[in-house]
Chains A and B, each alone.
Chain A
């Protein structure tokens, strides 16, 4: 019996390691590109370690990544747009999700149906009228326009995710708070919100990621370099082919991932782990 357990452990480990490699090798390959100083254009082979280790590509990205735009501008644009979009999507999505989870009112079913329906319609499908509407509102080329558009794209996911979370908050808890004299807002703030927090964190992360890596719609709307985001810069760089060393592209990609990984590392202990993998075996 003991021997059997050992065999199973080792077989399981081999399987898990293979999957781990499958997950890690692509990322590793990109990291290697970012730190390889020997590249002049495209790489000629896949390697695990750079031929010449150098931080130069990283610094040149920080200096001048895309056309004449400063890196700080790109990063600022990306962060402003994606954080703004995530925040807006959370606020709007949470109020919608809460209303649909907690209240019964005329028009509830059709409203929910329409909202969830918009989730399956790809945003690309209304690019032309969106272009016109944003032009009329005069926010098409601004960061505000991008923020609002990206937020709206993320709202369906937020509702989908948060409605279930709000529903699973026991109604009795809220009622108890009401009886103690708390208003709607403070009940939401002190009872519902903390209990639904893991789901809200996931919704925030996904909304942020959606906006952070969107480039297609933004590319249609933007017409000055000042409002280009990181992902649009990456797209432009890939389009331009081999004009630049690929280490620059690698560096940009690596730098772009850093804020997300950072957020993840910060949240992992508290929220994500609980939501993602459960806390039962720790």
Chain B
């Protein structure tokens, strides 16, 4: 249905046609300079051997050479002057990292939201004030905090584990090298490359960062579920578990799927946190696509390769966007029916 604002005056017709574009104009001007133009530029760079000396003049640089698809070949099939980098492994690790994060955050967020939503729980307000802290503390602070916790020598995690071990009568001092150890605790978990201890450390830390958001979304959705549905279920003799599975979960789904997709995208590109916790280490085992892209620019200074890598990231992003979009759409129609 074509919807137009109801206006009585005729002379505003022309204005009305252009109205939407007026709203779009300022943002599109800024975006074209900061986003779209650089994107095109990056595609051109990806076919060249762009180096530090070309930074000053950009594409006008006289020494710039077009080398075709060589950058792309090097990234995908190997041959980069970079150690410990295999594209497929990093890509799969990145996907795995994002998926496992969402798979932990969403159920935990829903569970805690449900617990907090029970009528008559004490100190609700205090818990809510505390639980929202991870959302409002600057992410760089979170990174610093968790780096300290997983420190091998003075970290709280090793100290807590030591305390627990000693509680059971042993006198060993736990000295796990959380962020530096190479040996994977569960070698068979991911076929494309083993997950180091740092991965688990980052899962714990990112859980701290991620679940409150899911709780927020779930709480909002929970409170919009009509109470009558539960009353009706109760009259029909449904147990609490049955009510949860057949009333709460289906009605939460339309809200949680978009949130999960958002969380997935966020985790997939979680640059600040990953870079701050491990910097992709040990030996690029926890590297995700964005941290490697940054490394290419900042430390390795392979700008041409970075361009090609950005284009590859772009295609990965489109794929993810299309898939998540489709999943969200699917649930949208589910919600309407």
Do these two chains really belong together in a complex? yes
Chain A, residue nearest B207 (CB):
A22
Q: Which of A54-62, A68-76, A272-280 contacts B (4 or more CB under 8 A)?
A: A272-280
Q: Is B318's CB within 8 Å of the partner chain A? A: yes
**Could you tell me the distance between the alpha carbons of A164 and B37 in the complex, rounded to whole angstroms?**
28
Contact B127 A27, beta carbon cutoff 8 Å: no
B104 at interface, CB cutoff 8 A: no
Which B-chain residue is minimally distant from A261 (CB atoms)? B136
Q: Are B7 and A178 in contact (CB under 8 A)?
A: yes
B208/A26 in contact, CB under 8 A:
yes
- Chain A residues whose C-beta falls within 8 Å of the C-beta of B112 in the assembled complex: 16, 19
Q: Per DSSP, are chain A's interface residues mostly helix, strand or loop, or mixed? A: helix
- Interface assignment of A225: CB less than 8 Å from any CB of chain B: no
Q: Is the CB of B26 within 8 A of A95?
A: yes
Q: Which residue of A lies closest to B24 (CB)?
A: A99
Q: Which of B141, B272, B310 contacts A216 (CB 8 A)?
A: B272
Q: How large is the interface on A (under 10, 10 to 19, 20 to 34, 35 or more residues)?
A: 35 or more
CA distance A129 to B216 in the complex (A): 37
Q: Are B31 and A30 in contact (CB under 8 A)?
A: no
Q: Which residues does chain A contribute within 8 Å of B297, judged by CB atoms?
A: 124, 127-128, 220
Q: Does B120 contact A (CB under 8 A)?
A: yes
A205 to B21, Cβ gap below 8 A?
A: no
Chain B residues in contact with chain A, CB under 8 A? 2-8, 17, 19-21, 23-24, 26-27, 30-31, 33-35, 37-39, 41-42, 45, 50, 55-56, 58, 112, 115-116, 118-124, 127-134, 136-142, 144-149, 151, 153-156, 159, 208, 212, 216, 219-220, 223, 262, 265, 268-269, 271-272, 275-276, 289-290, 293-294, 297-298, 303, 306-307, 309-310, 313-314, 317-318, 320-321, 325
Cross-chain pairs A/B with CB under 8 angstroms, 27 sampled: A9-B120, A15-B115, A23-B133, A23-B212, A30-B145, A30-B148, A92-B30, A103-B20, A105-B17, A117-B318, A118-B35, A124-B294, A125-B290, A126-B39, A128-B50, A133-B37, A135-B55, A178-B6, A179-B6, A213-B139, A216-B272, A234-B141, A235-B140, A256-B140, A257-B137, A257-B141, A276-B220
